[in-house]
Amino acid sequence: MTQPLPTTRCDGVNRRDFLRVGVVSCLGLSLSDILRAQASSPANPASKKAVSCILIWLDGGPSHIDTFDPKPEAPVEVRGDFKPIATSVAGVRICEHLPRTARIMSDVALIRSLTHELGNHDTGSRYLLTGHKPSPATDYPSLGSVVAKESDKTIVPPYVAIPGAVPAGGAGYLPGNYSPFSVGGDPSHADYRVRDLDTPEGVSFDRFSRRREMLAKIDAYSRQVETSPATAGRDAFYEQAYRLMTSPAAKKAFDLSAEPDSVRDRYGRGKVGAGCLLARRLVEAGSRFVTVVDTGWDTHTGIFKALPDALFPGSGKLPALDHAYSALLSDLKERGLLESTLVVLIGEFGRTPKINGAGGRDHWPRAGCACLAGGSVRGGQVIGATDAFGEAPIEKPVRPEDLAYSMLQLLGVDPTRQYIAPNGRPLKILDTGDFIQGLA
């Protein structure tokens, strides 16, 4: 009997929602905190570019050799079972299990020289998602949290995680209200509904409104005896949470049932397909940064059964990603949204060039891939290259801080801008990094 793919990485981390956003005291305290992020700082002139980002995070670390950097001339213990296929870009080949993606590679800038030294899931994720090497002294904010801080007000949260945030995707030293709004659940289910957009069962809006009025009176009294960031303007932020819960436009953005079956089928009926479709709806509604977390890429064993549809129909990681990624880019382009939406496909590292004794590949941070499209990115090109075995870059190495720097600039955020940490220390958003040459 075949077994479903595991839901935990090799480090034992369960892929569940790490950020719990719930309705507290029937009011949605965490939700109001998140909305507070949109109003708590003056708009950054750089953010006027108003480009949104959809980050597809391949949690566990995808094999670069078995996806976007095939090595067909290498020995079998390196090249593996998959064959390369041609793409819409002359001379560029990718894995045979990504045929739809191959057809839209003219819109993609493929980085084949992503490299770093951190081969642990947690540290590698933090490096890629923050642009900083992890430090015991400073908990750096994720790129999504930085973009949330730099965003203007919208009715939908500026930073959303589907279905939930990975630990490295949080607000770091920034206030917790810049953390992502985690939608929860499995968006591929037919009866899926995003949590916390409705009042609790049995509580009417009249009763809900009375509780809001009571809270406003308590807050007014608090401000008479205490002035602090926790009390100043709190009623306005609760009002925003209330508006989200009562806004038909916001509810519509989160409602996948509004999509016709043909669109659902185009993206694929699995989690990553539904996640990418929901992400498209959210950027249409005004979200600035949406992370779609796709789990199951920690393939230490049986990689050539786990990646294609070899275990059972719909089990393969590559066919599901192929549907979702290609549909997302094509759909955004057809809607005129690709130029204003940066789409990034990455994981925390690549995997070992040599296949291990269990028929899988282990962690390999020295070489990996990233795909960028939209948001002024120049598609139809390959940036960097690895050696004949895919062990290390031999051309144009790209570091995580370079990728982070480039993403922020494309999103209209100045990577050198300074924030003030809770201890009063001024910190640049990024200490190092350069824009990737030729990317845009």
Q: What is the DSSP string of 390-436?
A: SSSEEES-B-HHHHHHHHHHHTT--TT-EEE-TTS-EEES-SS--PP
CATH of the domain at 395: 3.40.720
Is 118 part of a structural domain of the chain? yes
User: Do the domain assignments include residue 263?
Assistant: yes
Instruction: Say which DSSP state 49 is in.
Output: G
Residue type, 402: D
The predicted pLDDT at position 147 comes to 98
Q: Which domain holds residue 327?
A: 29-199+228-428
Does residue 69 belong to any structural domain of this protein? Answer: yes
pLDDT reported for residue 311: 81
60 inside domain:
yes
The candidate with the shortest Cα–Cα distance to 279, out of 189, 181, 412, 197, is: 181
> Could you write out the DSSP letters of every residue in 206-223?
HHHHHHHHHHHHHHHHHH
Instruction: Convert the pLDDT of each residue in 288-336 to its tens digit.
Output: 999 999 999 999 999 999 999 988 888 899 999 999 999 999 999 999 9
Q: Output the pLDDT for position 58.
A: 98
Start-to-end Cα distance in the chain: 49
Query: For the chain, which ranges sit under pLDDT 70?
Result: 1-8, 12-50, 196, 198-246
Domain assignment of residue 390, yes or no: yes
Residue 10: inside a domain? no
| Residue among 355, 362, 435 nearest 396 (CA) | 435
Query: Which tokens belong to 365?
Result: 């941070």
Is the four-CA dihedral 110, 113, 117, 120 of positive or negative sign?
Answer: positive
pLDDT at 192: 92
pLDDT of residue 18: 35
- Work out whether the CA dihedral 156, 140, 348, 108 comes out positive or negative: positive
- Token couple for 239: 């009002």
For residue 218, tell me if it sits in a domain: no
- Give the pLDDT of residue 197: 72
Domains held by the chain: number: 1
Encoding tokens for residue 82?
């998959």
Q: How far is CA 432 from CA 125, 211, 347, 369, 393, in A?
A: 18, 48, 21, 20, 20
Alpha-helical segments (H) within 97-180: 99-103, 121-130, 143-149
Is 222 part of a structural domain of the chain?
Answer: no
